[in-house]
A and B are shown apart, each in its own frame.
Chain A
Amino acid sequence: MKALLLGAAAIMAMASPTLAERGSDGELKIIYWQAPSTMNPYLSGGTKELEAASLVLEPLARYDEGGNMVAWLAEDIPTVGNGGVSADLKTITWKLKEGLLWSDGSKVTADDAVFTWKYCSHPEGGCAQSEKYNDVTNVEALDALTVKVTFGVSKPFPYGPFVGAQAPLLQAAQFADCLGTKAPECTDANFGPIGTGAYKVTEFRPNDVISLAANTHYRDPAKPAFATVTFKGGGDAAAAGRSVLETGEFDYAWNMQLAPEVLAGMQAGGKGETVSAFGTLVERIMINMTNPDPALGDERATAKHPHPFLSDINVRKALSMAIDRDLLVEIGYGDTGKPSCNVLPAPEIYKSTANDGCLVQDVEGAKKLLTEAGWVPGADGIRQKDGVRLSLLFQSSTNAVRQDFQALIKQWWGDIGVETELRNIDASVFFGGDPGSPDTFQKFFADVEMYANNFDGTDPESYMANWECKQAPRPETQWQGNNMPRYCSEDYDALVAEMAKTGDLQERARLAKAMNDKLMQEYIILPLVDRGRVSARSNALGGVVMNAWDSELWNAADWYRVK
């Protein structure tokens, strides 16, 4: 009897992940249907590269699944309260954990952080994450484990540098000769960076497959549970989903952008399940407040010419009222989307509840509103006023879900007497930002356009500043800028300026909400769907905690084989 009990205890111990031994669970197989091109996140801003690199490279702090900042390589999160952030909000001092080692066995020091800043802020390096080091004037090592970051302006949110998957630490010794124009020539370092993460690269085949092995110098001697990782790239979302949910060849598949019924069919196999998390990604319609008429020549779609009918708030409001957001979610995203009435849908403290009326479609109300505003149906059923017809050009990028949305919305707008012409543009052109192309989302030579956007991390300050007057794309800025609607309001700009100097979190939340509400209540942006991240995991893989605020693989060190 005693032996039996002991045996049972032994079995239970084996099943428990906490008692696992490093490398005892064999091979972990991950598939990303977009294959990573490099392991250096500073040379490519792409999500696929950031996530692959996050297995190897780590930041000082990152975000957990709730969007809370957690100390990662640092001892704790510096704040004004614990003295880590100076009272004038101009410096932040990080303390590294003791005894950290790079995967080659050398010590992690504050000099590595100083070097990382130099690497990314080099003017000729073309660092894709230089935004994270904005306003940093100096990074210095106070001692072997203390890093002090100094900003040129006061930073109410000083957690840009070295925080999140976008800004991990590089090893100074490995990248010493790779500054500036030399950066792309360091192929070996870019493909096999030495990191502090749970895994290290053994072979990198660009755009194909990455082989990784457990890092023998990882700080937790019991982790990671897997001895090797095969990180395969290529194919398409359906094939990746199939390999996890139907054939069970892989353990984890990233970004299951599939129709809800396709995903449900795959899950019916019972070999795995989808995991999702909601962040700040919102599919939205942007309204052009300026006139995109080609007859205006160089002044087309600039603030000089207000839009002939979209500058009327009643028209914008009616367009929003006519949309059934629930149906859009059901058709396009299923469980991986939620109807949204805010352009700033998360984190919880920033989420406004003032605009939830948009959740209910109101076609009759929209018609009434337009009629009261003087827009009456003409002979062809299209509403008009003073010779101006409500006829729209609606553009978006080429993507099956977006084209479905366009068709549905066209129909709803038709119901209230608004004529819509649809247009879709290849994503690489639409999002390409080429000032020579008339088809970019910045130039916005259309009346309304639809796409999705979000922000890194949890702080919305720079995101909400997107709709500042000066951010409007125009010829003087080579058509660059984030304010696609060309919205211009002194009150809004004042709120942006106030947030830039406010340190108190509650006060910042109030300001962000106020900005969101202003955009929503003036119907400058029509939010449609809050889109979640969705991936698939096999039933044989345990420990996955889906995270929308950082890399999905943020806790890969804790993953284990379910036996």
Chain B
Amino acid sequence: MFNYTIRRLLLAVPTLLLISFLIFLLLDLAPSDPTANLPLTIPPEVREKIRISLGLGEAFHIRFLLWCKQFFYNETLNILEQWWGWDFGGDRLRVLSWQTRSPVVDTIVQRIPQTLWVVGMSYVVGILIAVPIGIVSAYKQYSWFDQVGTFVSMVGYSVPTFFTGVLVIVIFSVWLGWFPSIYDTTLVVNDWSSFVQQVKQMIMPVSVLALYNAAQISRFMRASMLDNLNQDYVRTARAKGIRERSVILVHVLRNSLIPVVTVIALGVPQVFGGAIITEQVFKVNGLGQLLIIAIQAGDVPTVQTLTFIFAFLIVFFNLIADVLYGILDPRIRYD
């Protein structure tokens, strides 16, 4: 297992380098321009100067190598300096966003809390709802509970969040006035009332996203439970006179969780990726919003850095899922 993990980690390095190159190539080929969104009153000569000051005058490979140096070397040294207080000295240029002209990594760090709170919480809530629903739905297949569960998952899965999001805003913010429609990212939770405020502003985005996540996971849970419920070992367990409760929750559930855990692990990178649409609808301004704004503004360094981090997380959580397989199911061996 250890050797396997090391081998996979080493393989990830060329994979990620290739990914970063491909992203850079795609962004370069895309017909976008960082000065496109400026007012037309700014003349073309000035736009050209702006483009040159952003480094667009250089050749493609130079810009790519520069980004690699800034991201892999300069930013790493910078993180080491900040965490351990070391001083490497020298004047290192960090990856600068073309929109804000400030270090991209700083903005990402600033955005992580709200994304993790809202999107991460919705993922946790989604799992907590989905697993019991999946179990009961499978155990009582075709009962009214199963039918209702299927219907709700269908709705959650097929109705887009830009619809449910606006719908809950209209109901709970405009009509009832219970919750704020705009998320306050500057809110600091330090006492009871600010905590209540934080909960209030998180309820709507979290429930909208949780519905979507739960829909997906509960279907997996149900299918996986159904597969196991008809296995011979279940009949054996029942024949031995084990209580029904133990049969379901100990024997069947444990075995059914293997594929579900994989699905959950593979979904974690999406949490960091943020929820582009839901973040826009509720003005959470997390990583998803950062990415979409950067794409619209033709801000290549930000898009490149963010997508690379997402790529890294996806590769990393794929590895985690594979390792988890081995732990959950002793029959699976990699060595």
Chain B residues, CB < 8 A from A455:
41
Q: A184-B101, A432-B32 are in contact. Are A232 and B182 (CB under 8 A)?
A: yes
Residue in B closest to A477 when the chains form the complex, CB atoms: B44
Q: Is A207 a contact partner of B37 (Cβ separation < 8 A)?
A: no
Q: B52 near A: Cβ within 8 Å?
A: yes
Q: Is B181 a contact partner of A207 (Cβ separation < 8 A)?
A: no
Q: Is A236 a contact partner of B280 (Cβ separation < 8 A)?
A: yes
Q: A44-B99, A190-B102, A203-B186 are in contact. Are A124 and B53 (CB under 8 A)?
A: yes
Q: A247-B181, A482-B43 are in contact. Are A428 and B53 (CB under 8 A)?
A: no
> In angstroms, how far is the closest chain B Cβ from the Cβ of A448?
18
A482 to B44, CA, bound (A): 8
B54, B185, B293: the one contacting A126 at CB < 8 Å is: B54
A187 to B182, CA, bound (A): 27
For chain B, give the interface size range.
35 or more
* A-B contacts, CB under 8 A, total: 178
Residue in A closest to B280 when the chains form the complex, CB atoms: A235
Chain A residues, CB < 8 A from B43:
131, 482
Q: B298 near A: Cβ within 8 Å?
A: yes
- Mark interface residues in B67-95 (1 if CB within 8 Å of A CB, else 0): 00000000000000000000000000100
Residue in A closest to B102 when the chains form the complex, CB atoms: A187
Chain A residues, CB < 8 A from B52:
126
Q: Is B31 a contact partner of A242 (Cβ separation < 8 A)?
A: no
Chain A residues, CB < 8 A from B283:
232, 234-235, 239
A38, A181, A236, A242: the one contacting B174 at CB < 8 Å is: A242
Q: Is B36 a contact partner of A239 (Cβ separation < 8 A)?
A: no
> In angstroms, how far is the closest chain B Cβ from the Cβ of A109?
27
Q: B96 near A: Cβ within 8 Å?
A: yes
> In angstroms, how far is the closest chain A Cβ from the Cβ of B177?
7
Q: Is A431 a contact partner of B40 (Cβ separation < 8 A)?
A: yes
Q: Is A249 a contact partner of B182 (Cβ separation < 8 A)?
A: yes
Binds B, one of A6-14, A433-441, A485-493: A433-441
Chain B residues, CB < 8 A from A442:
44
Q: B296 near A: Cβ within 8 Å?
A: yes
A455 to B42, CA, bound (A): 9
- Mark interface residues in A46-58 (1 if CB within 8 Å of B CB, else 0): 1100000000000
Q: A467 near B: Cβ within 8 Å?
A: no
> In angstroms, how far is the closest chain B Cβ from the Cβ of A430?
8
A31, A40, A206, A208: the one contacting B99 at CB < 8 Å is: A206
Q: A242-B169, A456-B41 are in contact. Are A432 and B46 (CB under 8 A)?
A: no
Q: Is A45 a contact partner of B39 (Cβ separation < 8 A)?
A: yes
- Mark interface residues in A199-211 (1 if CB within 8 Å of B CB, else 0): 0000101111101
Q: Is B93 a contact partner of A185 (Cβ separation < 8 A)?
A: yes
Q: Is A234 a contact partner of B47 (Cβ separation < 8 A)?
A: no
Q: Is A434 a contact partner of B53 (Cβ separation < 8 A)?
A: no
Q: Is A207 a contact partner of B53 (Cβ separation < 8 A)?
A: no
Residue in B closest to A47 when the chains form the complex, CB atoms: B39
A235, A250, A481: the one contacting B44 at CB < 8 Å is: A481
A129, A205, A451: the one contacting B185 at CB < 8 Å is: A205
A305 to B290, CA, bound (A): 46
> In angstroms, how far is the closest chain B Cβ from the Cβ of A557?
23
Chain A residues, CB < 8 A from B102:
38, 184, 187, 190-191, 206
Chain A residues, CB < 8 A from B186:
203, 205, 209, 211, 230
A433 to B42, CA, bound (A): 12
A45 to B43, CA, bound (A): 11
Q: B173 near A: Cβ within 8 Å?
A: yes
Q: A232-B182, A242-B174, A433-B47 are in contact. Are A428 and B42 (CB under 8 A)?
A: no
B37, B54, B100, B182: the one contacting A206 at CB < 8 Å is: B100
Q: B262 near A: Cβ within 8 Å?
A: no
Q: Is A207 a contact partner of B49 (Cβ separation < 8 A)?
A: no
Chain B residues, CB < 8 A from A431:
36-37, 40
Chain B residues, CB < 8 A from A541:
none
Q: B267 near A: Cβ within 8 Å?
A: no
Q: A106 near B: Cβ within 8 Å?
A: no
> In angstroms, how far is the closest chain A Cβ from the Cβ of B128?
29
Residue in B closest to A430 when the chains form the complex, CB atoms: B36
- Mark interface residues in B201-239 (1 if CB within 8 Å of A CB, else 0): 000000000000000000000000000000000000000
A184 to B241, CA, bound (A): 73
> In angstroms, how far is the closest chain A Cβ from the Cβ of B193?
16
A436 to B46, CA, bound (A): 18
Q: B103 near A: Cβ within 8 Å?
A: yes
B33, B38, B298: the one contacting A46 at CB < 8 Å is: B38
Q: Is B33 a contact partner of A234 (Cβ separation < 8 A)?
A: no
Q: A511 near B: Cβ within 8 Å?
A: no
Q: A128-B42, A234-B285 are in contact. Are A428 and B37 (CB under 8 A)?
A: yes
Q: B255 near A: Cβ within 8 Å?
A: no
Q: A35-B293, A126-B53 are in contact. Are A432 and B35 (CB under 8 A)?
A: yes
A247 to B184, CA, bound (A): 15
Chain A residues, CB < 8 A from B42:
45, 128-129, 131
A205 to B35, CA, bound (A): 22
Chain B residues, CB < 8 A from A43:
101
Chain A residues, CB < 8 A from B293:
35, 207, 234
A60 to B97, CA, bound (A): 31
Chain B residues, CB < 8 A from A124:
53
Q: B107 near A: Cβ within 8 Å?
A: yes
A430 to B184, CA, bound (A): 35
Q: B259 near A: Cβ within 8 Å?
A: no
> In angstroms, how far is the closest chain B Cβ from the Cβ of A199?
16
Residue in B closest to A187 when the chains form the complex, CB atoms: B102
A455 to B293, CA, bound (A): 26
Q: A38-B100, A211-B186, A433-B36 are in contact. Are A243 and B181 (CB under 8 A)?
A: yes
Residue in B closest to A434 when the chains form the complex, CB atoms: B33
A131 to B45, CA, bound (A): 9
Chain A residues, CB < 8 A from B181:
239, 242-243, 247, 249
Q: Is A433 a contact partner of B35 (Cβ separation < 8 A)?
A: yes
- Mark interface residues in A230-266 (1 if CB within 8 Å of B CB, else 0): 1011111001001100110110000000000000000
Q: B147 near A: Cβ within 8 Å?
A: no
A130 to B50, CA, bound (A): 10
Residue in B closest to A235 when the chains form the complex, CB atoms: B283
Q: B305 near A: Cβ within 8 Å?
A: no
Q: A209-B285, A239-B181 are in contact. Are A128 and B38 (CB under 8 A)?
A: yes
Chain A residues, CB < 8 A from B143:
none
Q: Is A46 a contact partner of B101 (Cβ separation < 8 A)?
A: no
Contacts of B98-144 to chain A: CB distance below 8 A: 99-103, 106-107, 110-111
Chain A residues, CB < 8 A from B111:
208
Chain B residues, CB < 8 A from A46:
37-39
What are 5 sample pairs from A and B whose C-beta atoms fall under 8 A apart?
A44-B99, A45-B38, A45-B50, A207-B100, A453-B40
20 more A-B contacts (CB under 8 A) besides A131-B46, A247-B174? A37-B97, A45-B35, A123-B49, A130-B46, A184-B53, A185-B96, A206-B107, A207-B285, A208-B285, A232-B184, A234-B280, A235-B283, A247-B173, A427-B37, A429-B32, A431-B36, A433-B33, A451-B40, A453-B41, A455-B41
9 tightest Cβ-Cβ pairs between the two chains A and B = A126-B53, A432-B33, A184-B101, A480-B44, A432-B36, A206-B100, A37-B99, A428-B36, A187-B102
